[in-house]
Amino acid sequence: MPPAPRQALPGVFVTGTGTGVGKTFVGAALAALLRERDVDVGVMKPAETGVEEPTAPCYSVDAARLAAAAGVGDPPELVVPYKLRDPLAPSVAAGREGREVSVEVVMAAYHELRRRHAFLLVEGAGGIAVPFGGGVDMAGLAEAMHLPLLVVAPTGLGTINHAVLTIEYARARGLVVLGTLLNLRADPPDLAERTNPAVLARLTGLPVYGPIDELRPGPPDDQAAVEAVRSSCPAFVEALVEGKG
């Protein structure tokens, strides 16, 4: 009897080794590249913190970048169910506002977006062990969504430890990790940046993509992000298009 065909990926959960490593930069680029390939991609940022006007009835900054890249007009309450003022872990930021973050609310929004789109790109907040709410961390959220991970990490000194710990924590929680994408390349690249990709690949047994440039300083250049991700990890994008991961 022939093996059953492999089920297409429902999406990908973009996490990082910490905050400020370029998850939105990478997530928006991936959404745009999938859209280019006629993939019906939806986007979600379950909680965004550091939002200046969290009660405004619109997308927050990161969610707006993701939605624009994917070309979607889904309601803000689906794309970013929680907008919080303080730049902290979602559960902590919510507590400071006298609120609670409900995993049930997020999962209801997630399932509605899954109904609307063939593929869903979800961006976490901070790293994989950051507490989200209701006793669930980012790993627990990815597990509830049944999504594999892409780990975004900076290229330089220290990233081996941070990336390996992130991947091992995810694996211990039973999550599938598709690979690591190195970001924030220096110009010129230093010795750590030149040697880290091979070391990470050997230690984790996973593909390592990049490094790519997050263009700084200045405002985000999303088209530059698209071209950087396109040139650095075409095999990963192709795998997502084919639904193989």
Phi, psi of 47 (to 5 degrees): -150, 130
Characterize the bridge pairing of strands 177-183 and 149-154. parallel
Write down the pTM of the prediction: 0.91
Q: Is the pLDDT of residue 7 over 50?
A: no
Residue range 80-108: mean pLDDT, rounded: 96
Which one-letter amino acid corresponds to residue 40? D
* Per-residue pLDDT at 6: 40
Q: Is the pLDDT of residue 11 over 90?
A: yes
* Per-residue pLDDT at 97: 95
* Per-residue pLDDT at 67: 96
Residue among 17, 33, 194, 13 nearest 110 (CA): 13
* Per-residue pLDDT at 128: 96
4 pLDDT band, cuts 50/70/90, is: very low
Q: What distance, in Å, lies between the first and last C-alpha atoms of the chain? A: 25
**Tens-digit pLDDT profile for residues 185-241:** 777 778 888 899 999 999 999 999 988 875 454 455 677 778 888 888 788 888 888
Positive or negative CA dihedral for 217, 55, 59, 97?
A: positive
* Per-residue pLDDT at 200: 96
Top-level CATH class of 11-242? alpha beta
* Per-residue pLDDT at 94: 96
245 pLDDT band, cuts 50/70/90, is: low
Whether 45 is catalytic: yes
Distances 240 to 54, 93, 143, 216 between C-alpha atoms, Å: 33, 33, 19, 28
Q: Which of 23, 45, 83, 244 is catalytic?
A: 45
**Tens-digit pLDDT profile for residues 99-152:** 999 999 999 999 999 999 999 999 999 999 999 999 999 999 999 999 999 999
- 71 sits in the region (left: phi over 0; alpha: psi -120 to 50; else beta) called left
**Tens-digit pLDDT profile for residues 18-73:** 998 989 989 999 999 999 999 999 999 999 999 999 999 899 999 999 999 999 99
What are the structural domain ranges in the chain? 11-242
